[in-house]
Amino acid sequence: MIYCNPVPIAMSCYLGKNVVVSAHKAFFKAICDLTSLGRSLNINMKFVSLRIVNKNLYYQYTKGFVGGLNTSKYELKLR
């Protein structure tokens, strides 16, 4: 996924790739730990909103993001 790629994040933040990879692992482990304890989470990543309630995942993409994915220009960027 483009948004979680550690190399561009590391380059834009002037950090090492290993620092970003560690941060990703810690973030996802925290989500797993909190949900296994039965906590509810609401994580807004601007392009998608994630809600975890009673160990069930709900998500909702923003209209602008979905509209951008459905264009032929986006497909050409991936190639």
Q: What's the pLDDT score for residue 56? A: 93
Q: How far apart are CA 69 and CA 73, in angstroms?
A: 9
**Confidence band (pLDDT; 50, 70, 90) for 5?**
confident
Whole-model pTM?
0.69
Q: How far apart are CA 45 and CA 35, in angstroms?
A: 18
Statement: residue 34 has pLDDT above 90: yes
